[in-house]
Structure 1
Amino acid sequence: MAENCGKCKKSIAKEGLVICNSDDCMKKFHRTCVNIDDALYDAIQKNPLISFNCEDCKNQSPKALAVKLQTMEEKLNKVYNGVNQISTRMYQQYFQFGNANNVDPKKQTNNLIVVGNNCNSDRLQVVCDYGRWVQVGKFATSTSEDDIIEHLAEELKINKNLVKCTKLVKNDANLSQLSYCKFKISIPDYRFNELFNENIWPSGVMVSPFTPRSQLNQNRI
């Protein structure tokens, strides 16, 4: 089905047309209807940085343009944050497998990404991602959440405020009747894999990824 020019409303062919570059518009025009000469038309075809916007889009109110710019900025921020998270995790895995020990400092480039690893200071407030949890047990029922937090803060040299810990017992549970208890634990994503280091846990402690009960029930269906 042939499309019509956004200005003269007549049928338009693939050759000799221009498209409005606005995402909300994308109308097609005869290039002669919008006064685009041969030189400009060739430039638009060859250079993706050169775009065409129709008169309606050019005449939009400042408020409408501001909303569009804000939406674009939000999308770019999401992409930027996603790239940063991926880069951080790749960097951690790179060093986790010992490759860092094989790098000659004299041959290192300035492009190396560095992730801060000092978690002992309260002076600078950093927003951390807590996307994953582990389940840890078996501990004596007298073990408290504070005990776990203090232990990890000492073993990992991490600020205890960055350790999240919850005892996995029912609210009405009688601890005296339990033989052991478990905890779910999380630390910032950029150090999360360190929770699976057996050397930081007492002998006999089991560490595994934490799966919410609701998700377990879904998997059984």
Structure 2
Amino acid sequence: MRVILKLTPNKSKVPFNYQRHLVGTFHKWIGENQIHDDISLYSLSWLMGGKIIKEGFDFKYGAEWFISTYDPMLLKSLISGIQQDPEISFGMTVKEITITEEPTFDPIQKFYLNSPIFIKRKSGDRQQYFLFSDEESGMLMTQTLQTKLKKAELNLDGVNVYFDRTYRNPKTKIISFNGIDCKASMCPIIIEGSQEQIQFAWNVGIGNSTGIGFGALK
């Protein structure tokens, strides 16, 4: 399920690295929940509808924010939290909530992104990042989705994820989150799999750190 939040215009400037504020708001809404682990069965988009200004963004006409989850109990907690305290940050508040069900997808489905895809793996005592240009990226995205499918006790056989190599304008994004510079890819992906698997991916996102604003699918 996906929650579409319409937000009021900001009253103060929204910094470029605003994602941690959204994550903080999300956890405020869901309360003390058991999802605080390294495998998120939900995804958070970036804010939509802003204009770049000096040192940040302006959402003069408001914004949209998409939160998707496979977990119906999390969805219930989220809606309750929003209704109790709709304030986000920068003077923005939730003015409208819409809940949408999973669409029907093709067995080979292309997705554009609502936030860039972040792929990381431990290499010794450091983190290695992978981008759309790396051959291993498809395999790693597939592995992460399979891990989430397994956690949700769904069939993980036959699913495959890879970047759309025909896309002409892929971009690398560097996002600072809690002082760490994360390299991520803004490039459409293709998912091959069953209807259940692809709908699941639409909810939980692709790649690592979907719970802090990476890998959300349109």
By the TM > 0.5 criterion, same fold? no
Structure 1 or 2: larger helix share? 1
Rg larger in structure: 1
TM-score normalised over the length of structure 1: 0.29
Structure 1 or 2: larger strand share? 2
TM-score normalised over the length of structure 2: 0.29
